[in-house]
């Protein structure tokens, strides 16, 4: 599937270079091939190579817990003081990161949304792997992974990024539904209770007390002001309709995007952003042909997730795939180097953890993955 992605993007680079008589256009597609394919293959293969000859996991879970705990402390301080040590010990977050009296936390990254999406993947992996170990009576290790998942979810809450938090909560609930069939009869009642509590909070509490979450239901403010992605989607859809087969081209996208904003009358709009939707973004700058490469990429990840779930009942990659699938509705995450690295790393970790555990009736760790190894 990755070879298919590379092939489609190479064809697109040649077509776009011919279309605009600019072979510099090819560099952008080659860079995208590197992020979405080459780098992913190298990352996954490196993790597997590091693990295949070891009986213990190459990753020290206790060290990871210490690091995560320190990051939680740092993030709490950042939330209330605005420190930003990523840019030096004297670094401070900008005023644009201050909302309702607290700062949106970004941890070791530059942007809270990037941090949140990566935390979403790591939280789902840790929770799923912890429950998988628990089902196999490996309670001490399972407990550490579940603690790690809890710490990561606290970090996710501190980012105040609404969609990743809601999506993580939903997918964690879906995991519980899968793994605890005896309690499924209580799930519907639990969902109804949660909806009632959320509805009561949204109705009874002032919008200001709900922070950024209250903005979504403030009917006094126009929808496009509360949720500016509506504008981004509308503009990028118009851009797609201009050239549905090949799109605007990666090199021409920004100039065509600005022209489309101006033509639509959004001259005073401060943030003339891209689609913030990986599907619409791909169709806008790559057309239907670019959409094929995206489908191939997602299909490859999805099939790998299905194999792990079907053979080993390890649901981490299935949750990560669903998170990636739904996360693309509100973010261009598969163009984001940090997210892609986290995605490839989580795939590698899923495989490496299965190598470590092995099957009970197998004499050597890793033999259960012989059909999945590259």
With cut-offs at 50, 70 and 90, classify the pLDDT of residue 23.
Answer: confident
How many Å apart are CA 243 and CA 13, to the nearest integer?
16
The reported pLDDT for the residue numbered 207 is 62
3-state secondary structure of 99: strand
Cα torsion angle, 246, 252, 258, 260, sign? negative
Residue 98 bridge partners (DSSP):
103
How many Å apart are CA 103 and CA 80, to the nearest integer?
6
How many Å apart are CA 218 and CA 254, to the nearest integer?
32
The reported pLDDT for the residue numbered 28 is 85
Q: Is 215 within 8 Å of 221 (Cβ atoms)?
A: yes
Q: Is 6 within 8 Å of 12 (Cβ atoms)?
A: no
Which position has the token pair 């997602």?
298
How many Å apart are CA 228 and CA 104, to the nearest integer?
18
The reported pLDDT for the residue numbered 367 is 46
How many Å apart are CA 243 and CA 237, to the nearest integer?
10
Lowest mean pLDDT among 170-179, 191-200, 360-369: 360-369
Average confidence (pLDDT) over 201-219: 69
With cut-offs at 50, 70 and 90, classify the pLDDT of residue 362.
Answer: low
How many Å apart are CA 314 and CA 350, to the nearest integer?
8
With cut-offs at 50, 70 and 90, classify the pLDDT of residue 205.
Answer: low
How many Å apart are CA 44 and CA 341, to the nearest integer?
10
The reported pLDDT for the residue numbered 196 is 86
Q: Is 352 within 8 Å of 251 (Cβ atoms)?
A: no
The alpha-helical segments, DSSP class H, found in 102-161 are 112-135, 139-159
pTM listed for this prediction: 0.90
**339's tokens:** 């997210």
């Amino acid at each position: 599937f990755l070879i298919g992605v590379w092939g489609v993007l190479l064809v697109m680079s040649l077509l776009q270079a011919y279309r605009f008589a600019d072979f510099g256009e090819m560099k952008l597609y080659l860079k995208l091939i590197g992020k979405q394919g080459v780098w992913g293959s190298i990352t996954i293969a490196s993790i597997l190579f590091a693990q295949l000859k070891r009986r213990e996991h190459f990753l020290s879970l206790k060290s990871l817990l210490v690091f995560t705990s320190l990051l939680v402390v740092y993030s709490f301080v950042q939330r209330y003081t605005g420190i930003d040590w990523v840019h030096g010990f004297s670094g401070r977050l900008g005023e644009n990161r201050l909302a309702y009296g607290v700062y949106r936390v970004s941890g070791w990254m530059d942007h809270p949304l990037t941090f949140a999406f990566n935390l979403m993947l790591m939280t789902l992996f840790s929770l799923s792997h912890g429950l998988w170990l628990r089902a196999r009576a490996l309670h001490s290790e399972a407990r550490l992974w579940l603690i790690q998942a809890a710490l990561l979810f606290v970090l996710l809450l501190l980012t105040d990024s609404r969609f990743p938090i809601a999506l993580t909560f939903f997918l964690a609930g879906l995991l519980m539904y899968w793994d605890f069939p005896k309690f499924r009869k209580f799930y519907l009642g639990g969902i109804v209770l949660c909806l009632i509590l959320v509805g009561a909070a949204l109705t009874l509490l002032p919008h200001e007390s709900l922070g950024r979450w209250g903005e979504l239901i403030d009917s006094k403010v126009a929808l496009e002001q509360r949720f500016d992605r509506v504008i981004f989607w509308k503009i990028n859809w118009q851009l797609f309709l201009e050239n549905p087969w090949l799109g605007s081209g990666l090199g021409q996208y920004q100039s065509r995007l600005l022209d489309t904003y101006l033509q639509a009358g959004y001259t005073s709009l401060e943030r003339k952003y891209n689609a913030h939707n990986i599907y619409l973004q791909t169709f806008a700058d790559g057309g239907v042909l670019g959409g094929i490469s995206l489908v191939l990429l997602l299909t490859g990840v999805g099939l790998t997730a299905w194999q792990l779930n079907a053979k080993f009942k390890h649901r981490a990659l299935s949750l990560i795939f669903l998170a990636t699938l739904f996360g693309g509705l509100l973010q261009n995450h598969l163009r984001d180097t940090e997210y892609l690295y986290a995605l490839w790393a989580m795939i590698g970790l899923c495989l490496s953890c299965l190598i470590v555990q092995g099957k009970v009736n197998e004499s050597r760790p890793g033999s259960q993955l012989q059909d999945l190894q590259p």
